[in-house]
Amino acid sequence: MRPVRTLLAVLALLGTTLAGAQPASAAPVLEQLPPLPLNSVTTPGGAVVTGPDGISYLYTVSTVAAGSALFSVIDTRNGTRKHQVPLPGALGTWAVTATPDGTAYIGSYSSGKAFRWNWGAATATDLGVPVAGETFIWAVATDGSGRLYGGTSPGGKLFRYDPKTGVVRDYGQLVAGEQFVRSLAIAPDGTVYAGIGAHAHVVEVNPETGAKTPLAHPAGIDTNQFAYDIRVSGNYLAVRFAASAAEGELWLYDLTKAAWTKQIPGVTGIGLVADRNQLYVVRAGDVTAIDLCSGTTRVVAHIESNSLLHAVGVVSGRDLLVKANTGGAFWRVNLSSGNVRTFQAALTEQPTAVQSLAVGPDGKVYGSGYLSGGLASFDPATRTMVGRKGVGQMEGMVTVGNKLYLGEYPKALIYEYDPAQPWAPGTNPRKVLDLSGEHQDRPFAMIDAGGILAVGTVPTSGVLGGTLAFYNPADGSSRVLTNVVPTHSIVGLAYSNGVVYGTTSVWGGNGIDAAEYDAKLVAVDVATGAVQYTTVPVPGERAISGLTVDGNGHIWGYSTCKVFEFDPVQRKTLRTAQYCTYNWDTVHHVWRDAFLYFDATDGYLYGKAQAKVFRINRSTLAYEQLVRPISVLTQAPNRDLYMSRESNFYVYRK
């Protein structure tokens, strides 16, 4: 842990303006705390290659919260690291591939850069952003001529890079209106097959003419998902359709008959590996072989892991290499005997960006990490920190009674954690709600509604319409309300006198356009689940995630630049104030940007939006910036504000 910096140094770093109008004895203090212990090895992408020395290696990239992701070359015989190089301007990647001579190509986020690494080089070559405006390269593949193909978002484009000439060809958006090219495969004749989302399509692309031919959908398939993985083997095209990096269904397409021939459900791991007319996938930890001709399946071996598993490729000795997306573990599964050997890759743990913060029933501040998950705590009384692994990315957290509730992405799973009991994922925390059956993914909004847990959600990719769910810790009963505000996600929640107030984002999951323009406020009776009324509190605002109740029972909301005061008795907005400008028409979606809290002691509103922590005088609506830049904020019962940006962690004492 790094030492605590002086107050002046922190203020200079953050460009902080401290709130005035308080006595010197009560002057606010900002302190940078050591980072929450959420460091992790997170490696979504990977490829197998045989090096010039004849050894099978794993190419993979470790994600970072800030700085440069790390490309690593791992010896699959023992997990030792042979090479490690930074990728400047990249935070991570899902997209890694290799040519037969050991050259690696990497497509990255958040800059949308591509990189090339030549075997043994001390650095990677930055190829720049192949397609202007594209910030994420989801998939990469190379053809027989060594040319690189990449699939992007947010434009849903395909590009080709020719290393001999340096020329990039932009094939444009593959399916009108679709934002993601999630997977790529190249047939021996050079034909490119692309898997699209957030509404599933498979497109055949002629690389020379650029002609795009969509394949017919499999009969009865839910198109509100991605064509997440794709592989060509012989006369067959294998496609795994899934809503996220979770359970999906595999379909086989006969290229000679131009027909879908077989469906295999329950494929939970990512990656499809073809070898000797067999396709290898992971189903609930079972490494499963699928005969491409007959479609029959057999279990080869079983792998125990709490991480998402990724079938990467076949290495020497006819072993299938399977890796964990977090933690750095990998397994060699012998495809003949089923023997499994486990290794730990020598990968460098990286700082994890904090995704959510909340104060637990024990007074400790809890945080969860972006992508890699985990749950860390900071005890303000003893200043001790504890890191815990074994849970996923938590979008929201809240204390109800003597339990801490955690909302996990993907699938909007809600867990109950008792800090007084030993940490034992599966038992403590234990799952109490599963909202995936309602096509939900992100439980950002979570509050204590008078001893009842209330949860507001964002749906899965390609879907409009969140849910409002209630869970009663006393008896374990639950109620899930759909279409509370049709086509809107529920991203802000507050509670007063038996009523939950929710505010919305007009956007649903990734990859689908909003159906309406204005965010709404809805009032719901907790006891009955009845919607009392719905209104547009501030026309022109498209997402309102900051929501709180003051001492008078008035509802206060914050979008990106605007605050409003709403009287639930009169059912109308009383006042608004705008503190900056924001062009909603330039963004693809906004879910949770703002946080808002009422402080009953000084009567101010405290919040965060557009990376700025602020306070607002409720009488005059005067706005004061306190700290920047900040991403996540929570308020403790003692009025302290805990906040984070990337892996940095702070407390602001009023």
Q: How many CA atoms lie within 13 A of 44 on its CB side?
A: 21
Residue 242 lies in a domain: no
Coil, strand or helix: which one is 227? strand
CB 32 within 8 A of CB 650: yes
Give the CB-side neighbour count of residue 374, counting CA atoms within 13 A.
Answer: 23
Res. 146: pLDDT tops 60: yes
Residues 6 or more apart whose Cβ sits within 8 Å of residue 517: 506, 540, 542
Amino acid occupying residue 625 = Q
Any residues with CB less than 8 A from the CB of 470 and at least 6 apart, and which? 449, 452, 453, 454, 455, 478, 479, 480, 481, 526, 529
104-130: pLDDT as tens digits? 999 999 899 999 999 999 999 999 999
- Tokens representing 54 are 């004849």
Whether 398 and 375 map to the same domain: the answer is: yes
Cis peptide before 429 (omega within 30 of 0): yes
Give Cα separations from 42 to 81, 91, 108, 242 (angstroms): 16, 11, 14, 21
Q: Which of 359, 358, 360, 357 is nearest to 421 (CA)?
A: 360
Residue 26 has a pLDDT of: 66
Same domain, 322 and 422: no
395 and 463 belong to one structural domain: yes
Inform me whether the pLDDT recorded for 17 exceeds 70. Answer: no
Q: Cα–Cα distance between 547 and 549 in angstroms, integer?
A: 7
Please say if the pLDDT value at position 10 is more than 70: no
The pLDDT tens digits of the residues spanning 429-470 come to 999 999 999 999 999 999 999 999 999 999 998 999 999 999
CATH code of the domain containing 508: 2.130.10.10
Distance, CA of 112 to CA of 195 (rounded, Å): 19
Other CB atoms closer than 10 Å to residue 118's CB: what's the count? Answer: 12
Q: Mean pLDDT, to the nearest integer, of 62-71?
A: 92
Domain assignment of residue 20, yes or no: no
C-alpha–C-alpha distance, residues 597 and 605, integer Å = 6
Between CA 128 and CA 209 the distance in angstroms is 25
Which two tokens mark 214? 């969509």
In this prediction, residue 350 has a pLDDT band, given cuts at 50, 70 and 90, of confident
> CB of 366 within 8 A of CB of 359?
yes
- Asked whether residue 555 is domain-assigned, the answer is yes
Q: Are residues 324 and 384 in the same domain?
A: no
Q: What are phi and psi of 585, to 5 degrees?
A: -75, -5
Average model confidence (pLDDT) across the chain? 94
Residues 516 and 611 in one domain: yes
One-letter-per-residue 3-state SS of 236-276: EEEEEEECCCCCEEEEEEECCCCEEEEEEEEECCECCEEEC
Same domain (yes/no): 319, 444:
no
- Across 6-131, the runs of DSSP E, i.e. the strands, are 29-33, 46-50, 56-62, 69-75, 81-87, 90-98, 104-110, 114-117, 125-128
Asked if residues 533 and 522 have their Cβ atoms less than 8 Å apart, the reply is yes
pLDDT in tens, 482-514: 999 999 999 999 999 999 999 999 999 988 999
Using a pLDDT cut of 70, give the percent of the chain over it: 96
Tell me which of 351, 382, 416 is where a domain ends: 351
For residue 629, is it within any domain? yes
Is residue 393 located within the same domain as residue 480? yes
Domain hosting 547: range is 355-653
Q: 188-246: per-residue pLDDT in tens?
A: 999 999 999 999 999 999 999 999 999 999 999 999 999 999 999 999 999 999 987 77
Residues 477 and 502 both lie in one domain? yes
Does residue 250 fall inside a structural domain?
no
Cα 101 to its chain centre, rounded Å, is 34
* pTM for this entry: 0.85
| CA distance readout (Å), 580 to 317, 331, 561, 574, 623 | 62, 52, 5, 20, 11
Contact 618, 608 (CB under 8 A): no
**Quick check: 19 pLDDT over 60?**
no
For residues 329 and 439, membership in a common domain is answered with: no
In this predicted structure, the answer to whether residue 93 has a pLDDT above a threshold of 90 is yes
Residues 503 and 545 in one domain: yes
On whether both 325 and 450 belong to a single domain, the answer is: no
Picking from 132, 51, 130, 585, the residue whose alpha carbon sits closest to that of residue 315 is 51
pLDDT in tens, 287-327: 999 999 999 999 999 999 988 999 999 998 899 999 999 99
Distance, CA of 308 to CA of 126 (rounded, Å): 29
- For the segment 251-282, what is each residue's pLDDT rounded down to a tens digit? 999 999 999 999 999 999 999 999 989 999 99
In this prediction, residue 24 carries a pLDDT of 40
Per-residue confidence band for 70, with pLDDT thresholds at 50, 70 and 90? very high
pLDDT attached to residue 435:
97
The reply to whether 372 and 478 lie within a common domain is yes
Number of domains in the chain: 2
pLDDT of residue 7: 35
Strands 226-233 and 259-267: unpaired
- Report the distance separating Cα 202 and Cα 230, nearest Å: 9
